[in-house]
Amino acid sequence: MKVLFVAAEAEPFAKTGGLADVAYALPKALKAKGIDVRIIMPKYGDIGQNYTNKMSQLASFGVSVGWRNQYCGLEYLNYDGIPFYFIDNEYYFKRPGCYGYFDDGERFSFFCRAVMESVKHMDDFAPDIIHCNDWHTGMIPVYLRDVYYNSPEFADSHVVFTIHNLKYQGIYSPAILEELLGLNMGYYSEEKLKYMDGVSFMKAAIVYADRITTVSETYAEEIKGPLAGEGLDGLLREKAYKLSGIVNGIDCDRYDPATDPALAANYTAKNFVSGKAANKEELQRRMGLPVDASKPVIGVVSRLVRQKGIDLITCVMEQILDIDLQFVLLGSGDSDYQDFFEYYASAYPGKVGVKIGFNNELASLIYAGADILLMPSQFEPCGISQMISMRYGTLPLVRETGGLKDTVVPYNRFTGEGNGFSFSNYNAHEMLDIIRYAAEVYGDRKVWKSLVKNAMATDNGWSASADKYIALYEETCEK
């Protein structure tokens, strides 16, 4: 089976969020199972020279962007055994970052069309599945039906579209249809691409893809309701027959406490007691906190935005600090949240350590050195931090939403089962009660050690999910 995996970002070349992790790790798992999978993405200006110097150009050709004909270069790099293709156009992509520009509609209209044209220049590769991800790729299933239905390269092609976060939909003026996409205004209808008074890339994919997936079973159900449906819940209920949820995994080779070079001491499930103790000591020292093994350390590694439940933390921060614990945070985002946590770090220097920004090494140290990882998200399509923390033996404390609900089993004191803690409602005091409970459980070293063992034994790798994707691909191709 031949799969073309299309994404706006992928590790290690460009990353703004979890999509980049998936776009590398899932194809890696698929390849290990015998799938001929190839990844295609934009060639951004931020991609390091250590990679661009190794790329080779396969072709150059023109791409229609409405009435324009834009240059496109197709470049290639085999990375870690996986074929990567890069769409090169300096006007659109040689700028800092991936998105957030006034002309993102034009940039990703070009990208969608360029992907289709690029397949013509890939030797002996006619995709059975084009696996598209998030709104940036949303026009590809439309192009497959409208423009490329007679192209021999796509004679047997089907589209699987994965929603990583429904909140971001790529909505633009109706003028984009003829001006940039080269489509007629017949597509501007409620049954096709119209959303409110605009055109939605996300809606286009939901309507025209053969199958729709999202990144956890619970999120697949949540987005069919008004609270998480972002205005598309009615459409998703209508298309429920082709919608399913497959939980993400993590790359267990990359996230491995036995080999992670950022840690003060490496460890496995067999010697985690001493290993985690060494990392906790280093974390406390690095964050300017007293070294004290008896106090549980609660860690937060997050974007500081409302979606991540940061307002729940700020609401009861004083009460959290009344508990005999230490609090560490790494992240950046809304300035009000940043200022809030920096104030508490200065006001409670023995209890709170804060680093604004992001640092991969410090993130690893928090995953390894903290006792509890706090993720009180308002919504979370899948989440990756809770799975990394379990891999490192740090117990996640999460709100029961999306992938957090699907991956974290709350501790049951009667059976001893569980790999973390959870609370149901989006309520600060309910979260506070569970934090108090977790701190109390931490005091029972035998129970806590057992829970850490459970967490580290949880299989959050990609293998099982890759099997589900392969089954979905096969089923889609049979139709």
Among the ranges 147-151, 252-256, 309-313, which has the highest mean pLDDT value? 309-313
Tens of pLDDT, residue by residue over 9-32, are: 999 999 988 899 999 999 999 999
Same domain, yes or no, for 213 and 314? Answer: no
Phi-psi region of 333 (alpha: psi -120 to 50; beta: other; left: phi over 0): left
pLDDT for residue 102? 96
The answer to whether position 265 is within a domain reads no
pLDDT for residue 411? 98
Check if the beta carbon of residue 298 is closer than 8 Å to that of residue 374: yes
Same domain, yes or no, for 450 and 472? Answer: no
The answer to whether position 254 is within a domain reads no
Tens of pLDDT, residue by residue over 408-461, are: 999 999 999 999 999 999 999 999 999 999 999 999 999 999 999 999 999 999
Same domain, yes or no, for 31 and 111? Answer: yes
Same domain, yes or no, for 9 and 152? Answer: yes
Same domain, yes or no, for 311 and 241? Answer: no
Same domain, yes or no, for 184 and 293? Answer: no
Same domain, yes or no, for 232 and 287? Answer: no
Same domain, yes or no, for 403 and 296? Answer: yes
- CB-count exposure of residue 256 (10 Å: 0-12, 13-18, 19+): middle
The answer to whether position 399 is within a domain reads yes
Same domain, yes or no, for 453 and 467? Answer: no
Number of compact structural domains in the chain:
2
Same domain, yes or no, for 473 and 451? Answer: no
Confidence of residue 400 (pLDDT cuts 50, 70, 90): very high
The answer to whether position 227 is within a domain reads yes
The answer to whether position 257 is within a domain reads no
Q: HEC string of 130-186? A: EEEECHHHCCHHHHHHHCCCCCHHHCCCEEEEEECCCCCCCEECCCHHHHHHCCCHH
Same domain, yes or no, for 448 and 468? Answer: no
Place of tokens 């809770």: 386
The answer to whether position 261 is within a domain reads no
Same domain, yes or no, for 199 and 337? Answer: no
User: What is the mean predicted confidence (pLDDT) over 387-410?
Assistant: 98
Tens of pLDDT, residue by residue over 333-343, are: 999 999 999 99
pLDDT for residue 417? 96
Does residue 479 have a pLDDT over 80? no
pLDDT for residue 389? 98
The answer to whether position 152 is within a domain reads yes
User: What is the mean predicted confidence (pLDDT) over 153-178?
Assistant: 96
User: What is the mean predicted confidence (pLDDT) over 302-330?
Assistant: 97
The residue segments making up the domain with residue 56 are 2-249+463-478
pLDDT for residue 27? 97
User: What is the mean predicted confidence (pLDDT) over 236-252?
Assistant: 96
The answer to whether position 264 is within a domain reads no
User: What is the mean predicted confidence (pLDDT) over 235-253?
Assistant: 96
In this structure, what CATH number is given to the domain that contains residue 205?
3.40.50.2000
Tens of pLDDT, residue by residue over 88-125, are: 999 999 999 999 999 999 999 999 999 999 999 998 89
